[in-house]
Amino acid sequence: MTQITLTIDGMACSMCESHICDAIRRAFPVKKVTASHRAGQAVVLTEGPIDLTALREAVDKTGYRVTGVTTQPYERKGLFSFLR
């Protein structure tokens, strides 16, 4: 699984977070997506590859601006993660 973190400019409230999450869910088969206007970022978890340019464009179409993208392997954390 891969974690993609988008730095996003222009989010001001929880409704902004919803717009971004909905746009990403509509455009890509993601496992999970969360956004935070306070942190100014969205985090996407995916099992397959995602075109980062298309991801950036999907968010930009909502009126917000992606200013950075980072990817890293996702490792499940938690009490029973050692069982994997």
pLDDT in tens, 31-47: 999 999 999 999 999 99
Of 35, 31, 70, give the one whose Cα is nearest residue 52. 70
Cβ contacts of 4 within 8 Å, gap of 6 or more: 43, 44, 45, 46, 50, 52, 55, 69, 70, 71
pLDDT tens track for 11-34: 999 999 999 999 999 999 999 999
Arithmetic mean of pLDDT over the chain:
92
Report the share of the chain in percent with pLDDT over 70.
Answer: 92
| pTM of the predicted model as reported, rounded to 2 decimal places | 0.86
Q: In what order do the strands lie in the sheet with 41-46?
A: 32-36, 41-46, 2-9, 65-73
What's the CATH code, domain 2-74? 3.30.70.100
